[in-house]
Structure 1
Amino acid sequence: MTWVADAAENVRDRVLRGGVADLRPMPRTLIDKGPNRFVYRFSAYPGGDPGGDPVLLVPPLAAPSLCFDLRRGCSVAEHLVDRGRRLYLVDYGTVSFSDRRLGLEHWIDEVLPRTVRAVSADAGGAPVHVVAWCLGGILSLLTHADRPDLPIASITTVAAPIDMTAIPLIAPIKPLADLTNGWILTPVYRLLGGAPRALVKRAFQLSAFDKLVTKPYAILSHLDDRDYLAQLEAVDRFTDNMIAYPGRTFGQMYHRFFRANDLAEGEVDFGGRRISLREVKAPVLVIAGTGDGIAPQRAVRKLVDVLNNAAEVRFETAPGGHLGVLAGRGARTTTWAYVDDFLDTHAGLS
């Protein structure tokens, strides 16, 4: 009877109140902005006094920054604020056709350096500890490698793949792309000005196709589990808010990362300008998801091999898919614990 009562309450809230998840964003204040850059400081809890060095959350391109603030009770931001961290977030805003000429250099040269400096200045000049997801981790590492003068104290990457040959979704397509010299996608993204948000959304959903197909059954079998249903709602909101890739950025990722697999050797060429991840000197925490189809363990672990000049490199695995390893229910006791321990070691709390 308890199952029936709990299920009935959840169904009632989904129908009459629009859902069971608490999707309120964590309170934040805008401290800096510029092209493709909105930098926020999260508010401390009433009476709280954040200590230690600032922590900056860096999302990937094309994914909304709410990946770090999925829902109350399963929010990376809420967790870190609750731990007393001085927490910040960069949001890239929306991407339009007018942004089609922006390349990865824009984020490496402008967006992330200006963000790091703004966060450090707001925190009284303290060094910044970066916590980044997926491509956000790769861009953060490339930025630090290219700009060692930036006040970056440590970098945590979650689900950041650099060896594209280790990604099952890509491996079958690569020979055809090589055979046609990349022609398959090039005309498409040039015509559209990038990868449209609808396409990005579908690609993300297809990466977990088995879960997409079994979703109706999963909902029915978990009607009494409020936390489970709340997570599904939060993930649906996340995928509904995907963002487009700028054309030139998508082209660079396609040709340099996907086809040439440059990052697997730790270097990438931007028109004659090479950036090497072997120039990264700060401590780095690398986390991979055991069920991640977009960034499998082997694709992520390759970072350990190329970061051989970093002060420290830790490698950890945690349950979950691409988003789940960062913001899934299991991440609360795995990934977040690794991040806490790493920050306690390198940032600490005053």
Structure 2
Amino acid sequence: MVDLSAAGRGLRNLWALSLGGGIAPRHRTDSIAIATGDHRTVRRYADDDQVRAAREAGRMPVLLVPPIAAPASCYDLSADHSVVAHLRDSGRVPYVLDFGAISYADRAMGFGDFITDIIPEAIGRVLDDYRAPQVDLYGWSLGGTLSLLTTAAQPVQTRRVRSVVTVATPLDYNQLPGYPLARALTKPTGGMAPTVLLRLLGGVPAPLVQVAYRATSWDREAKKPWFIATHLGETETLRRMETIDRFQRDFPGYPGRLVEQMWECFIYRDELVGGVLDFDGHTVDLADIDVPVQLFGSHRDALCTWGAARHGVDLLSRSPHLQFTTVESSHLGLLAGPDAAIHTWPAIDDFLAGVDTLVTGAVAPT
């Protein structure tokens, strides 16, 4: 007997995905913009009462730093998998820095702009809004790299970062597929071949970033028509698929100078492995980081191998409280998915609670 309700649901879902406006509206957790500007908008995901309660409990604000070429919505992916909602509901006050769109006009922006200007300004905005002396930084993928570099670049005497959490952040590009080969192939040109192309393009345009990200899960893309056809009646399953597709379509590009520096410092000159990097004469040493740090890695991550993430344990030797946690999931799933909700988020809750305890002079849990 044909299930007419399921058939009707399937037809409605097919229409929504193909000609309609989608199965479900985009999710947005309520927020307040405390600062706006080019590549430096900061939003707070808590109301004044929640801020007051967190401050009275002695908790510092959490500033989430996105990757350059992924939208800030990574921290508010869906109602079920929202990092900011989880932090808020656990008694923390989350803020998100939004770099916005990246265009050809931004081609001169490099790491120095982010780690000595944009992110420090966002930290100041957060501390002024929350009325706190320090902030906990939290970054996914390259957002974790930016968080660590920003912390290392700050003078120890005036450091405003209390701790750093990085999720799926590669810190050894030798352990990422393809990069050692690219370095070897471009060695006869002194590593200039990619740099010349990047300068012509002014960076990596958003469409190329979106295609490259989708290519890392090519099997998912190839199977998508069949997946949709066999799950037409499963609205919730298709809603999750739609959420990821929308997220991928929003990817911005990389600014020219920054992606040149990624090639030069992270890959060709291999400076990231040793932790000492030179960005146009501005030297940053990750060994200078002397705050608690938590790192996450996965053996299932196609973009950041487990070894590339765990290399941070060797780099951050001065951290007084260093944790590395393995959560087996995809690159995005490690941050905002069922695996994150079950494993990543509770581990970060425990880490931040341990940092709270460290500040009061007690010993943090291991």
What TM-score results when the alignment is normalised by the length of structure 2?
A: 0.88
Query: Where does residue 72 of structure 2 map in the other structure?
Result: 65
Range moving further from structure 2, 45-54 or 152-161: 45-54
Shift of 1:210: 2.1
When residues 53 and 12 of structure 1 are mapped into structure 2, their CA distance, relative to the original with a 3 A threshold, is same
Query: Where does residue 193 of structure 1 map in the other structure?
Result: 202
Deviations 1:217-273 (A, max 9, x none): 333444454443222111111111111111111111111112122111111112343
SS of aligned partner of 1:60? coil
Shift of 1:197: 0.5
Tell me which amino acid in the other structure corresponds to 2:41.
F
Number of aligned pairs? 348
Range moving further from structure 2, 107-116 or 225-234: 225-234
When residues 5 and 27 of structure 1 are mapped into structure 2, their CA distance, relative to the original with a 3 A threshold, is same
Structure scoring higher RCO (CA < 8 A, sep ≥ 6) equals 1
Tell me which amino acid in the other structure corresponds to 1:42.
Y
| Bigger helix fraction | 2
When residues 60 and 2 of structure 1 are mapped into structure 2, their CA distance, relative to the original with a 3 A threshold, is farther
* Pairs within 5 Å for 1:156-235: 156-235=165-244
* Pairs within 5 Å for 1:8-87: 9=9, 11-13=11-13, 15-16=15-16, 18-44=21-47, 50-51=53-54, 52-87=59-94
1:50–1:85: 8 Å Cα contact kept in structure 2? Answer: no
Shift of 1:20: 3.5
1:283–1:312: 8 Å Cα contact kept in structure 2? Answer: yes
2:180–2:267: 8 Å Cα contact kept in structure 1? Answer: no
Q: Cα RMSD between the aligned structures? A: 2.4
Range moving further from structure 2, 339-348 or 161-170: 339-348
Tell me which amino acid in the other structure corresponds to 1:43.
A
* Pairs within 5 Å for 1:268-279: 268-279=277-288
2:51–2:93: 8 Å Cα contact kept in structure 1? Answer: no
Tell me which amino acid in the other structure corresponds to 1:119.
V
2:65–2:146: 8 Å Cα contact kept in structure 1? Answer: no
2:64–2:137: 8 Å Cα contact kept in structure 1? Answer: yes
Distance in 1 separating the partners of 2:2 and 2:338 = 23
Distance in 2 separating the partners of 1:7 and 1:53 = 51
Query: Where does residue 301 of structure 1 map in the other structure?
Result: 310
1:44–1:84: 8 Å Cα contact kept in structure 2? Answer: no
Distance in 1 separating the partners of 2:296 and 2:76 = 19
Distance in 2 separating the partners of 1:300 and 1:221 = 36
Query: Where does residue 101 of structure 1 map in the other structure?
Result: 108
Unaligned runs of 5+ in 2: 358-366
Range moving further from structure 2, 276-285 or 89-98: 89-98
Tell me which amino acid in the other structure corresponds to 1:30.
A
| 1:335 equivalenced with 2:338 (yes/no) | no
Tell me which amino acid in the other structure corresponds to 1:41.
R
2:63–2:135: 8 Å Cα contact kept in structure 1? Answer: yes
Deviations 1:300-350 (A, max 9, x none): 1000101000111100111222212111222110111111111222248xx
1:193–1:246: 8 Å Cα contact kept in structure 2? Answer: yes
1:39–1:89: 8 Å Cα contact kept in structure 2? Answer: yes
| 1:90 equivalenced with 2:69 (yes/no) | no
2:27–2:77: 8 Å Cα contact kept in structure 1? Answer: no
Distance in 2 separating the partners of 1:29 and 1:329 = 27
Query: Where does residue 325 of structure 1 map in the other structure?
Result: 334
Unaligned runs of 5+ in 1: none
Distance in 2 separating the partners of 1:3 and 1:303 = 54
* Pairs within 5 Å for 1:118-157: 118-147=125-154, 148=156, 149-157=158-166
When residues 231 and 214 of structure 1 are mapped into structure 2, their CA distance, relative to the original with a 3 A threshold, is same
SS of aligned partner of 2:32? strand
Shift of 1:35: 3.7
When residues 3 and 296 of structure 1 are mapped into structure 2, their CA distance, relative to the original with a 3 A threshold, is farther
Shift of 1:144: 0.8
Tell me which amino acid in the other structure corresponds to 2:43.
Y
When residues 79 and 303 of structure 1 are mapped into structure 2, their CA distance, relative to the original with a 3 A threshold, is same
2:102–2:252: 8 Å Cα contact kept in structure 1? Answer: yes
Distance in 1 separating the partners of 2:64 and 2:97 = 7
Tell me which amino acid in the other structure corresponds to 1:32.
A
Deviations 1:72-119 (A, max 9, x none): 111111221222221111001111222111111000110111111111
